Amino acid sequence: MQQEAKPVGPIPERDAAVERLRNLKVVSNRFLRTGIASLPILVVLLLLADWLIGSRAFAGDLFRLTGVLTIAIEFIVLGQLFGNLPEAFESIWARDLLWYSPDSEQREKEFIKFIDAAEAALNSRWSSAVGILGAIAGVSATYPVRFFLQTGASPFNFDELLAYYVWGNAAFVAAPLGYLLGFLIWRVGVIAVYISKLGRTFEIRIQPNHPDQCGGLRPIGNLCLMIYLLLLAPAVFLSVWGFATTFFNAGGEIYNQLWSGLFRQWLVLLSGLALFAFLWPLYSL
């Protein structure tokens, strides 16, 4: 039997920093990673089922339908952001854009330390705390709670609550979906913070003649662009429906009464997040 030829010469050492990046886990739990990756498809399938065999509580309501589609877009962009993060850091490392010390071994150790700290922050227990806040916000944005806040009437009629949260409205997903969004929003914030930390931890060696026409930093710029898109999708939804409910009474009086004011408040919050999550990392670099 003919044996395979062995490579001639020394086997090149693997770049420890690249190996570390390829094992970077934005979400450490494997089941959660799989679930998050499957969510956009699951949302579309649930909408299709609601339209074909359900009560059309979402497929038949343009307000709810656009809201669910906005969430699906958010999950798609989040998946792209999380998937591109290791590749973007690997690209700028391979392009030798990060300078820390003349000693290449020391520079590599510092970069690996930076990646370790980023992964620890991404999977911090604080992400669960932000998830709980998201769950509370999700329930607070549902009809019974909004109605109570606006009118002072009691939302604790058990039969009506049970009917709303279980039958026909799919409102039971408000808490878990809010938790998941908060859980992921924490990670988006951490990514923004660590992009900004690149400029404070390392000296960025811009390459003016680099083919990407961004000094070699286009992969990082693309990450910031995806963070911007995460803010843009809900901002468009809130702007359109805030305007429509306020000036055209779109969706009926109940939408105008319960949600138009909330949408304006959320738009202000998104503006603040834009300054933090999009402009600040770029400015730091």
Least confident of 87-101, 204-218, 238-252: 238-252
Q: Does 7 map to a domain?
A: no
How large is the average pLDDT for residues 41-69? Answer: 79
| Most confident listed range (72-76, 191-195, 243-247) | 191-195
The pLDDT value given to residue 90 = 93
Give percent above pLDDT 90 in the chain.
23
Cα separation, 246 vs 269, whole angstroms: 19
How large is the average pLDDT for residues 275-282? Answer: 77
Backbone phi, psi, residue 99, to 5°:
-115, 130
Q: Does 172 map to a domain?
A: yes
Q: Does 121 map to a domain?
A: yes
The pLDDT value given to residue 113 = 94
Q: Does 41 map to a domain?
A: yes
pLDDT in tens, 92-127: 999 888 888 788 888 899 999 999 999 999 999 999
Q: Does 9 map to a domain?
A: no
pLDDT in tens, 168-211: 566 778 888 889 889 998 999 999 999 999 988 898 888 888 88
Which one-letter amino acid corresponds to residue 163?
A
Quote the number of domains for the chain: 1
Region at 124 (left for phi over 0; alpha for psi -120 to 50; beta for the rest): beta
Q: Does 78 map to a domain?
A: yes
Q: Does 10 map to a domain?
A: no
Average pLDDT of the chain is 81
Residue with tokens 């138009």: 260
The pLDDT value given to residue 38 = 84
Is the per-residue pLDDT at 66 higher than 80? yes
Owning domain of residue 121: 16-284
Cα separation, 5 vs 11, whole angstroms: 14
